[in-house]
Structure 1
Amino acid sequence: MTSLTRRAVVASTTLTLALAGAALVPAQAAPGPTGPPDHDLRVATFNASLNRNADGELAADLSTPDNLQARNVAETIQRTRPDVVLINEFDYAPGNEDLFRDNYLAVGQNGADPVDYPYAYIAPSNTGVPSGFDLNNNGVIAGPDDAWGFGFFPGQYGMVVYSRYPIDMDAVRTFQHFRWADMPDNVLPEGWYSPAELAELPLSSKSHWDVPVDVGGKVVHVLAAHPTPPTFDGPEDRNGRRNHDEIRFWADYVGSPRQSSYIYDDEGGTGGLKPGERFVIVGDYNADPLDGDSLDGAIDQLLGHPRVNTSVTPASAGAVEQAALQGGANLTHRGDPAFDTADFADGAPGNLRVDYVLPSTSLRILDAGVFWPTSDDPLFRLVGTFPFPTSDHRLVWVDVRLPHRP
């Protein structure tokens, strides 16, 4: 796959070990006698696989404090202590965010300190919402593949944002219903969808959110999404094409006013971020810059963007170890295994970098890492090997310093 040159650090064994260790440093280190904290904000993304097979199952699991997977997810977050975290694959239902916060995050897990998130944002997802159309063209209008986003029930594979800092709820923008056909120069599969389908088909397989967080009077826009995997289709590559344009949406949103002029949100507001606004793009984007099945250059729309800071690439020693132990497709990969964020040991693509925390260039990156301990680390039990005790994805975090201007 062709890829734009990445402005990324090349991880040596020493660096990856240092980063893996840094993942255990609390997000808000205590200030020294005369100096400021070592960073201002830790932002993380975690596809935690807190999705269930039926509506209501996640709420049932979270209603008591003894679900082992949920405890592992909470402990992973407690060990890394992000100030703001996006959780992907968290089934949507009002109240699920409170159940997980109260019964798991606020309860110390296996000796880890509880973590307090007074603020959270959750909203509907396109997943599992019946379209009324035969979107996969198999002659039957039924099932998860004919929903606006793949899912067996509305809200499956949703997402939630937790924050230590206030979220400006009145200023949140969602783009759940933005139509794919309304993106100029899109890569829709020619002839696959009918005119009636194109008149309603949303771009986002889940949703795209702009969640403004107020950090000491400085607003940081948390841009959250979870584009569809670029697989599970046919020669038309409808999912690969949708994945490409879901990623492109943020590239245009943080670009120039001209680039973002076509965008409209679910309340009718138009345009993207204003020049100079601070942002962090987060989520499982299901696209590796060098390997896997995504369209050529899909994630490079962000990694090569002039407003995106890629001066440090999150890495881990655990990813390097597992790529070597598992072999297979990993041996043919062109990307550095230190940068992998997902363990697809049971699949042909091998382990990939698909989860991202990408700050704006107005935010200086101080440190970054992937929570992927090596097998000799006591915390390896939280990641494990297939079948995974928590998720096939790893939490990714980045520390940024906000400028002192207002």
Structure 2
Amino acid sequence: MTSQNRNVPGPDQIRRAPKVLLHDHLDGGLRPGTVVELAAAQGYEGLPETEADRLGRWFREAADSGSLERYLETFAHTCAVMQSRDALFRVAAECAEDLAEDGVVYAEVRYAPEQHLTAGLTLEEVVEAVNDGFREGERRAREAGHRIRVGALLTAMRHAARALEIAELANRYRDRGVVGFDIAGAEAGYPPTRHLDAFEYLKRENNHFTIHAGEAFGLPSIWQALQWCGADRLGHGVRIIDDITTTDDGGVTLGRLASYVRDKRVPLEMCPTSNLQTGAAASYAEHPIGLLRKLHFRVTVNTDNRLMSGTSMSREFERLVDTFGYTLDDMQWFTVNAMKSAFIPFDERLAMINDVVKPGYAELKSEWLFRQTAVTSGSSASSG
């Protein structure tokens, strides 16, 4: 079946399609112009470029450089300008606006409160500033004719020793804008088991958490995140492919861990462009998402760091559509997967799926079918 008679979406349809985002870092998604303006206002002189377009290009090139040190340097600059309430409020509001403009209807955006304390803010003040910013961004989006809901994930850094403190913070602000917890940072040498007290606390409180696992480190990090820590989702999880064997004749064998992940419907927060930058995949065509989608793992599509990757949800889907020929049906499948896996109550997830996601895709499919019918009718008339 050719793309002409399959509902393969174009860029405009991809942008208008309702999308759900589970893995996006607040400090990795700033507008370059905002970084420049905040740096000037705060007297921060460390930026490598002071013109917005050039700075945006620098961030992308640094992320593509293959140098971990240079990649991490990018976050030093964004965090440096996110140390006041006003800055955090602005960045969060613009994040919600930008996602809504891109067709995202639900997003969980993560950040580490402990990285925003150098100017004297308390952890609570950081959380409240970001929450207020998200609400303002949602309001501005509504005024612009867009619908979005944003929840915060509070992140603890793997190399630090504040995971339990941040987990307790996430629990205090539960139902007040914070929907869950995460740990991030270098996987190798900093296993999630270092923070078991935080995960045990969250489980006792019946709270939700995801863990960055299976990106830079392999299957052991996935196993630990699931079996020792009890993660609800896996941040990235691309290395689960290491437990899947394929043969030249198309045969596929799943190892015990891969079978467990698929059977238990563990959500995988995959970020294709970011994975290419960090070396977790060599190309879009070789990204594990293609095989995992065929095998019906609960795969979701995400941005990770929109500034560093020069990406958006629409761009991620454009690359997947171009690479794998995905249709609107595939996009809906990924989106429903993500909404099913969100850290909000079941009835609210179901309402988003039935009232927003499915109707949005149904409209796009009807539009596509109408266009195809018109093209076919026109061809028939011409040949007659």
- Could you state the TM-score of these two structures normalised by the residue count of structure 2? 0.37
Normalized per residue, which structure has more helix? 2
- Could you state the TM-score of these two structures normalised by the residue count of structure 1? 0.35
